[in-house]
Structure 1
Amino acid sequence: MKHTALTALLLLLFITAMGQSQSNSWLRLSVEMPLAPKLNSVIEWQSRAQGFENGGLITSPLLHSVRPWLNYKIQENTTLSLSPIAYYYLYPVTISPKDQSKPAQQEWRTTVAVEQRWPLTQRFSLQSRTGLEFRNFSRQQDVIRVRQKFGMDYCLSPQVHVLAYDEVMANLYAGSFFEQNRLGAGVSFQLNKALGVETGYLYINRALPFYQGLLNQHVLYINIRLRFFRRFSAATGGGETLR
């Protein structure tokens, strides 16, 4: 059993080392609005850019998207999330300059996810997020994808958190079974009650249908969060916006 695990680990390291590298930058803006004491809505705008293989400048678009969420807090540390429909405009991954001539495509995506949190100490907690996505493409076969994310959160102060996580994505219908693995670390800053920023780095091993082996992507990301507040009446659930 030990020899099998060691062989699998060495094989994964070999495949990763043999893969080519690409640089990305990701930007996301999220606006959150509470709807009820346990229910909120979020709208996300994303823009991602990419460089060519092996350290090229980040000059080509990768995707633009808009995605709404409804988040329901089932228990203190358990949240159910639903994105009924999201729109993505996807550009081809640019392994070489000739890939820029390939056509872009559109994607309509429906997602359901469950997120759990396990506080271990006053400052340190573990997190898990399990998601299922139904992806409808304009130029390729539709895909059903499952996502499993495990992470940790260390609270340096009420305004600053250090984050680390690993997320695996696999296709259950169409495409290769293994799609990608994301290993990430970042820092989250709560600048005031309404504004938060998270920035960090992702290392991604990604399988592509037209590419031999795995593509290694180095990603710098920034997530900006805007949050509106409402005071809810205990009797009616109504409320007023807090300024």
Structure 2
Amino acid sequence: MLPSSHHPILLTSLLGLLPLAAPAQTNAVPDRQVGTWLIGTVVLPGGPKHWGGYAEVQTRANGLGRQFFYTELKGGVSYDVAKNFTLMLAGGRYSTADYRDLSAGPLNVEGRLWQQLTLTQLTSRLKLEHRYRMEERWFRFRDDVVPAGQRRYRTRLRYRFNTLLPLNHPTFTDHTVFLTVYDEVFFNPRGPFFERNRLFAGLGYQFDKHLTVQAGWLNQANYTAASYRQNVFTPQTTVAKNNVALSVIYRLSRKASTAPPEFVPSQPD
């Protein structure tokens, strides 16, 4: 059981997500079809010299296990400044296609580089994670008309607040069942400033120090800024979609001169 002294902490953390998840007064366009996210990650934890990293492959589908249209290949290098403070430099390739005609090739290919810092608060049971990220993004659209060799460029800021609660053990160890809830907001300096909101709630199982699996519900809402063109005002539009998210995290072993810190199985992306 979770000590009663930590109930207010958990309640406060979860209530803090509600304002971010609350729908804005916009033209809402819900997608009634449930999508699928599949994520596979390999993590190299920071060792005696604090350096680590990760690599990940991700694919998404418009329906449940069908109509796949999106892939991510990415990886990065991390440095543990302190026990609960990690910096990361990472990048990846992101490809979006039309699931109705995959043979035509991707509609858009994005190259991305980002800088990130993660702060983790480890109470006696509840784990809180604050993740801050700045992204540089280069796009190549299939039907876009731009000079040869050039790409469109954008930047974006992201913040994720993540909570993880082990259920059958006081800490994350072998055979640990846990709950995880996070909310992530995306900010575009060029507008719309509030570009996206991603809310996840799921259940995970840590088999041992290497293997962790998670499954849950993920809602992603994208926002299009209001516009006024040719004497016609169009309010902000929100397109939201529910997804089933399944992930596998494999943590590599490495030699350490001291006992490693508690591993918190947070999804790297």
Same fold (TM over 0.5): yes
Match of 2:108 in 1: 105
Equivalent AA in structure 2 for residue 86 of structure 1: G
Q: For residue 95 of structure 2, what is the aligned residue in structure 1?
A: 89
Do structure 1's residue 117 and structure 2's residue 133 form an aligned pair?
A: no
In structure 2, how many angstroms separate the alpha carbons of the residues matched to 1:39 and 1:179? 33
Match of residue 7 from structure 2: none
Equivalences for residues 148-163 of structure 1 within 5 A:
148-156=159-167, 157=169, 158=172, 159-163=176-180
Q: Hey, what does 2:248 align to over in structure 1? A: 224
* Rounded Cα–Cα distance in structure 2 between residues aligned with 1:189 and 1:71: 24
- Where relative contact order (Cα < 8 A, 6+ residues apart) is larger, the structure is 2
Which amino acid is 1:152 matched to?
A: T
- Structure 1 pair 34–128 and aligned structure 2 pair: CA distance change class (3 A): closer
1:67 equivalent in alignment to 2:74: yes
Alignment of 1:113-192 (within 5 A): 113-119=116-122, 121-139=123-141, 141-156=152-167, 157=169, 158=172, 159-173=176-190, 176-192=192-208
Letter in 2 for 1:43: A
Determine if contact 2:56/2:75 at 8 Å carries over to the other structure: yes
Q: 1:187 to 1:12 in 2, by over 3 A?
A: closer
The structure that is strand-richer by fraction is 1
AA of the residue aligned to 1:220: V
Q: How does 1:47-58 map to 2 (within 5 A)?
A: 47-51=59-63
Shift of 1:183: 1.4
1:144 partner amino acid? T
CA gap of 1:154–1:214, structure 2 versus 1, over 3 A, is same
Moved more, 73-82 or 136-145: 136-145
Deviations 1:113-171 (A, max 9, x none): 1111123x311132210101111011263210100111212121231221111111011
What is the RMSD computed on CA atoms of the aligned residues? 3.0
AA of the residue aligned to 1:71: S
Q: CA offsets per residue over residues 3-35 of structure 1, 9 Å max, x none?
A: xxxxx99x945437x322242211111112347
Equivalence for 2:230: none
Percent identical = 27
Paired position in structure 2 for 1:31: 42
Shift of 1:208: 5.1
Aligned partner of 2:216 among 200, 217, 223: 200
Judged with a 3 Å threshold, the aligned counterparts in structure 2 of structure 1 residues 45 and 103 are, in CA distance, closer, same or farther, namely closer
How many residues get paired? 212
Give the whole-Å Cα distance in 1 for the aligned partners of 2:74 and 2:94: 8
Do 1:23 and 1:58's aligned partners in 2 also have CA atoms closer than 8 Å?
no
Aligned to 1:238: none
Unaligned 5+ runs, structure 2: 1-18, 145-151, 226-233, 259-269
Equivalent AA in structure 2 for residue 33 of structure 1: L
Q: Are the aligned partners of 1:183 and 1:202 in contact in 2 as well (CA < 8 Å)?
A: yes
Indicate if the aligned counterparts of 2:46 and 2:78 stay in contact, CA closer than 8 A: no
Q: Tell me, what secondary structure is at the counterpart of 2:189?
A: strand
Question: Residues 64 and 103 (structure 1 numbering): CA distance in 2 closer, same or farther, change over 3 Å?
Answer: closer
Residues 12 and 226 from structure 1, CA distance in 2 versus in 1: closer, same or farther, beyond 3 angstroms? Answer: closer
- Whether 1:41 aligns to 2:53 is yes
Structure 1: 5+ residue stretches without partners:
1-7, 52-56, 235-243
Deviation track 1:191-222 (CA, whole Å, cap 9, x = no partner) reads 1222111111112211258x971111101111
The alpha-carbon distance between structure 1 residues 113 and 65, as it changes in their structure 2 partners (threshold 3 A), is same
